[in-house]
Amino acid sequence: MNFELTKEQEMTRKMVRDFADGVIRPRAIEIDEKAEFPKDIFDEMGKLGLLGIPFPEEYGGSGGDTVTYALAVEEIGKVCGSTGLSYAAAVSLGASPLYYFGTEEQKKQFLVPLAKGEGLGSFGLTEPNAGSDAGGTKTRAELKNGHYVINGEKCWITNAEYARSIIVTAVSGKRADGKNIISAFIIPKDTPGMKITSPYEKMGVRGSNTSEIILEDVEVPEENLLGDPEKGFKQFLYTLDGGRISIAALAVGIAQASLDKALAYAKERKQFGQSISNFQAIQFKLADMAMEVELARNMVMKAAWLKDQGKPFAKEAAFAKLYASETSFRSSNEAIQIHGGYGYMREYEVERYLRDAKLLEIGEGTSEIQRLVIARQLGC
């Protein structure tokens, strides 16, 4: 395994870093305070090709790989958790399933515009009573006269209000053993019967759009069924495995930002006649933060590399998501502690890092679910 970045990967990271520092960073505080989705920023990201990094050029992408994409997520997350989350969800959840499981026609119709940055994708999995227990899906899809009629409700869905297309999971029948068959369906924006609202007042990642979707007799043609109708559950589990790499990368970005802010402040802040960075208590905090950030980043890179090599990566993705998200929360919490009273104030930003980091221990599989995934991978 070689973690030395290629020239193309280095170039992409620098390009994304420059964009993040120049365009996103100046608006990060405002995006959080106003809880407004920065559509214009995503339009620019689309023009730069960021929304198509891991997809082949034939489908409108940049022809990059998972490692390159993870680097991009980290750089964006480092300046704005909200923008980083919506970016990760658009690529990993909204577009990737189309690439993994779509027919050629579906890729041309739905993936190409997403990869080109002409719109965002969204993935409707979670329901009021089906979070960690995704198998408890209640949304139903019934085949009638060449169309699937879908009824149900989805909640906490990232990007749905701004999505060009939404992939939703729904029960489409029964298996021979009596268990539900869960399939995935592509629903274009503005399809009659699909109502999208964004009623949530969130603790963190406030500028990332989070929506509720109500589906009332929504009709989509039979050809909008995504992938194997009998394997919808396995398909979205694979999708989530890939998505965990991007959430882990986002967590590394927030953790790195926390370390950067804490280190700079510790060098500037004077107490008892000297910089607090001279105090061993502070040095130990910074040392632990630096170590954990680097370990988390290495785990993300390993999971991304395995995925790019076509090797099994589910366990490593769970390692990365679990460790990086918990590192992100610890690092941002320590950054507040090092800042003291100033850390509690919004203008110093580290309190935003903590609020944003908390979601990463919950979304795309809670920390508890990650431990369960790892245990099963160990054969427990």
Known catalytic residues are: 364
Do the beta carbons of residue 127 and residue 139 sit within 8 Å?
yes
**Distances in Å between the alpha carbon of 300 and those of 118, 258, 289, 355?**
28, 18, 17, 22
Q: Which SS3 state, helix, strand or coil, does residue 103 take?
A: coil
C-alpha span between 136 and 126 (Å, rounded): 10
The DSSP output letter for 45 is H
Instruction: Give the CA dihedral 307, 375, 84, 293, nearest 10 degrees.
Output: -90
What is the enclosing helix (H) or strand (E) of 274? strand 274-275
Query: Cα 168 to the chain's mean position, in Å?
Result: 17
**Residue 65's closest CA among 9, 10, 119, 19?**
9
Do the beta carbons of residue 316 and residue 371 sit within 8 Å?
no
Query: How many other CB atoms are found less than 10 A from the CB of residue 209?
Result: 26
